Chains A and B, each alone.
Chain A
Amino acid sequence: MTSTVEQAPDLGTAPQAAMAPVRRERRTLGSYLFMPVFLALVCAGLYLYMSNQELDSIEQRSLNASKIGESIWEHVQLAAISTIFVILIAIPLGVVMTRPFTRSFRGILLTFANIGQAVPTIGLLALLAVAFLFIGFTAAIVGLVAYAVLPVLRNTIVGLGQVDENILEAGRGMGISKMGVLTRIELPLSVPIILAGVRTALVINVGTATLATYINAGGLGDIIVAGLSTNRINIQLTGALLTAVLALFIDYLAGIAEDVLRPKGL
């Protein structure tokens, strides 16, 4: 096979070609099970505690299966839809901002994204409601999206930026079109970093969606605010705990999605 016939094994001392920056060992089944079991125990504990309490009529109005179920569903919708819009806006924007032709106005776009995160969501929601009389579900989505765009945008830019130049040159040199290099090389290789940004955005959205209640957009914020305004500690506790459980559970699901969607070979 070689003209110098020797059986020495290959010495792999060439510098490692671009490796993914985040490398994690495969998780064990136990670590996959821990979080859902823990959250189920918290919910069960909350249920047992509440069913042993004497609930007055105000508490009963908030703490029943249909009201809680409805709030959770609204909350999930707020978080999910806003995150979808964040993805649809931030990833293409991130792609555009890493192309050479946008170099001149890249800074301005990033400044806008930064403003979105710098302004508190509650302020933005109030502004939408007062200045534009814009309230309800759609207004809440606008506020959440503005707040959560930045982490995804930033991670998209960083993710695309860390792809090894040599891999791109090899791709271009083989005659893959610019679009082909983007969709078949750059984006797949940035998936771990972009997904980390999406996960952050999702968790932010689950948390901030509690504020949507102030502009009549529902969600678990309804329960918390009802508890606060009627001074019922049981209602506040239930709303807060359920929000926390939901946030942790969605983060857990996003973690699994990250593991599944990360390209093999990285």
Chain B
Amino acid sequence: MTDTSTTHARSAGSVGTATDAGKIMINLEHLGKQYPKEPKPAVDDLTLEIPEGEIVILVGPSGCGKTTTMKMINRIIEPTSGRIILDGEDVTKADPDQLRRKIGYVIQQIGLFPHMTIAQNIATVPKLLGWDSKRIDARIDELLQTVSMAPETYRNRYPKQLSGGQRQRVGVARALSGDPAVMLMDEPFGAIDPITRDRLQNEFLRLQAEVRKTIVFVTHDIDEAIKMGDRIAILKEGSRIAQYDTPEQILTAPADDFVADFIGRGASLKRLNLSRVRDIHLSEWPTVHIGDDYARVLDVLRNSDKGFALVLDEQRKPRRWVSAPDLQRGGDRPLDQIGLPPEAMVEPQATLNDALNELITANYSVAIVVNAGGEYQGIVDIESINEAIRTMRTDARARARVGLDADDSTAQAAQVGR
């Protein structure tokens, strides 16, 4: 994850290499796009290596050529110079229709076909690839489940009957339908409200952990880039690479002022997007079983410094928050009918930023961590977040001082030697 070579624009064009990566899936070699009658090329001699199974983010100010670069990979825009190597094969001159069937494509406006059902939309590429109808039907159901939409409910609906978030999911499902090794995504979550966007991003990361596609992802939002990217290419005008590196490296060691400016302030808060709930130590919280009597709950509350206990059911799923006053008012109602419903639940792969957002808006200022099956794992509170930020700061400072400390020790060594 770390020692990626940082690259700067050179006179011979800009080069982004991924030295630590495994197999390179997409190789852009001296790629250029010069529109007629334009004084400067939109993409100027770009060389970029995109490793297999990673999400590579192209990010930069508007007009920097990031979308043009992405669209040259599936040749929606034809490059005027350079080569595109996909999985070892030069596709610069290949039949574009055949090429595109092997590359998933998601655009911001999604572009679902309004006159086709969700199933027909998803079936488009499998049909082009000549799959038989049985296999296509199975694939539709599988993909709808993958993007958390019940097949029997949504299969025969039309796009206009879906919400924006659901359309985006169908867009992703459609892009995955032909099981492409490579996906291109052009600001896929750009037109979605912030709350839904967060959920879709998390869902997508979870999906990517399963499918491990090579993804080229364009955005203008550095926060999204840090959250989604395994590797980020920060681009200047003409698609020149300012820095091509992992999010950690970009946040800790921006290559130049342009990158530092682009990251903007709050690098440590941004780093919360890099750490996940599973990476930190979860705090304990008093819990009781749903069948326990009030006396037992009071006992638990008395023995802890917290004001509330979490009620778990037989499957260890959180059911309710209860406090002593709730118990007094409760009469003889069962535990799951008093107190407050649990909220702010996050899964281990959620980022600390997600957890922070959740716990700030929650009644008791804690986020409950549950696994994929909904079982209680522990909680994240503001202290855990604080602790994480402190650790990251210390690490960053240590890394920033690497040179200094080394200099110190040589200096000391020199003095000792004298």
Contact = CB atoms under 8 A, between A and B. Distances in A.
A172 interface: yes
B115 A173 contact: no
A53 interface: no
B125 A174 contact: yes
Interface string B309-348: 0000000000000000000000000000000000111111
Interface string B91-130: 0000011111110010101111111110000001100100
Contact of B160 (A15, A16, A167): A16
Interface string B43-54: 000000000000
Given A11-B195, A14-B165, A1 B203 contact: yes
Contacts of B350: 3-4
Given A5-B374, A12-B163, A174 B124 contact: yes
Contacts of B163: 9-12, 14
Nearest to A170: B111
Given A13-B164, A174-B105, A265-B158, A167 B193 contact: no
Interface string A46-57: 000000000000
Interface string B243-261: 0000000000000000000
Interface string A141-177: 0000000000000000000000010111111111111
A13 B114 contact: no
Nearest to A13: B193
B107 A170 contact: yes
B97 A175 contact: yes
A92 interface: no
B111 A11 contact: no
Interface stretch (A17-25, A66-74, A113-121, A248-256): A17-25
Contacts of A264: 115, 158
B166 A10 contact: yes
A29 interface: no
B206 A3 contact: yes
B105 A266 contact: no
B97 A5 contact: no
In the complex, the 7 A-B pairs of residues with the closest C-beta atoms, listed nearest first: A14-B164, A12-B163, A170-B111, A265-B158, A175-B100, A175-B101, A173-B105
Interface of A: 1-6, 8-20, 164, 166-177, 180, 185, 188-189, 263-266
Given A11-B193, A185-B113, 19 more contacts: A2-B199, A2-B202, A3-B350, A4-B346, A5-B345, A11-B164, A12-B165, A12-B167, A15-B164, A15-B191, A17-B160, A19-B160, A164-B109, A168-B111, A169-B76, A174-B100, A175-B128, A189-B114, A265-B114
